[in-house]
Copies of this chain bind each other. A is one copy, B any other.
């Protein structure tokens, strides 16, 4: 109904000029003002229920106090905690976030970033997923503060924050190895996605480090990071090497699919075959057999990335490390055991 009060209203009310009102209300003002005026202005502002018009302010200052958050899909359970982590840092500092979902589609990425830029976001946190993201690189080059999460884009100077996935893969690999597994297969995610590629590389590296010939191990790429993708790729793995005793999966959902397919062909987990996941998504520990997996600090990663962005936004870009790596944690549960001694499996 009755529109919001503006500086002009307060000016009229107090008899001073709008610029004076503006200064009186500015918490970190540099110009000296008489105590009297400040009090009167604050008073009037209070009385009229004044709230600054951020749009007008943004137009003038070129700051919207809004950031963009680019994620693949909020319905993927690993992202909500990340988002909350980001907001736990941004909101207290007066920033709002606009979240966009790319669904890992090339075209959308560009379109959505444009939406963010149109709205004048002050910075972007990008949980990059595609191996190539030319759009975000261009944006960062143009001077907008950008942080990538879960993904480094080489040679661009964009600060990135990642979980120590390489270490995570190494941990599960070692666990399987120490249980006696040697024919360890990798169920990779879509290699077009950075997560898929990264974890595959880490798998190969871990295998080599343990003295196995990574070329001899069965590897199959899932088309999607979901149960169906896991089922299909598992079939391929078992075809490649029927004597596989363990499948190291690129994420939890793939692992669930793997277990499902194995069960369908008569292989029980972990008795006949061991399976591991990655991410430790919510409720995972309630689904049998409780999956041995790697826990990633989603919330903390979001919060840390936001912390970096805040620094960049406040002009302390120099203080931002180019690389931040968060530790991961092995979660040993029930989906891993020693390979069958009898070697019954055909």
Contacts from A to B (Cβ < 8 Å) = 1, 51-56, 58-59, 64, 66, 73-75, 77, 79-81, 83-84, 87, 91, 96-101, 114-120, 141-143, 256, 282-283, 286-288
B66, A119: Cβ atoms closer than 8 Å: yes
- Do A59 and B55 touch across chains, with their CB atoms under 8 A apart? yes
- Chain B positions within 8 Å of A120 at CB level: 53-55
Residues of B within 8 A of A91 (CB): 115
Shortest Cβ-Cβ A-B pairs, 4 listed? A75-B80, A74-B80, A286-B287, A55-B59
Q: Is the CB of A96 within 8 A of B96?
A: no
Is the CB–CB distance between B84 and A74 below 8 Å?
A: yes
What 15 new A-B contacts, CB under 8 Å, besides A1-B141, A286-B287? A1-B142, A53-B120, A55-B64, A55-B119, A74-B74, A74-B83, A75-B80, A75-B81, A91-B115, A96-B98, A96-B115, A96-B116, A97-B99, A99-B99, A256-B286
Inter-subunit contact B117/A51 (CB<8 Å): yes
Q: Which residues of B contact A58 (CB under 8 A)?
A: 55
* A209 CA / B247 CA spacing, docked (Å): 53
Which residue on chain B has the smallest CB distance to residue A286? Answer: B287
Q: List 25 A-B contacts (CB under 8 A).
A: A1-B143, A51-B117, A51-B118, A52-B118, A53-B120, A54-B119, A55-B55, A56-B59, A66-B119, A74-B80, A74-B84, A75-B81, A75-B84, A75-B282, A77-B77, A77-B80, A77-B283, A79-B80, A91-B115, A96-B115, A97-B99, A98-B98, A256-B286, A283-B287, A288-B288
CA distance A97 to B198 in the complex (A): 32
Residues of B within 8 A of A56 (CB): 59
CA distance A74 to B69 in the complex (A): 14
Contact present for B119 and A77 (CB under 8 Å)? no
Residues from chain B with Cβ under 8 Å of A97 in the complex: 98-99
Shortest beta-carbon distance from A85 to chain B in Å: 10
- Closest B residue to A284 using CB positions: B283
Name the residue of chain B whose CB is nearest to the CB of A59: B55
- Looking at A53, A56, A80, the one whose CB has the most chain B CB atoms below 10 A away is A80
- Nearest B residue to A121 via CB reads B96
Bound-state CA distance A286–B77 (Å) is 15
Query: For A81, what are the chain B residues with a Cβ–Cβ distance below 8 Å?
Result: 75
Contact check: which of B59, B64, B287 meets A59 at CB < 8 Å? B59
Known A-B contacts A1-B142, A77-B77, A287-B287; A101 and B114 likewise in contact (beta carbons under 8 Å)? no
Query: Closest chain B residue to A75 by CB distance?
Result: B80
B residues in contact with A1, CB < 8 Å: 141-143
Whole-angstrom distance between the Cβ of A95 and the nearest chain B Cβ = 10
The CA-CA distance from A56 to B119 in the complex, in Å, is: 10
Q: Roughly how many angstroms separate A96 CA and B50 CA in the complex, as a whole number?
A: 26
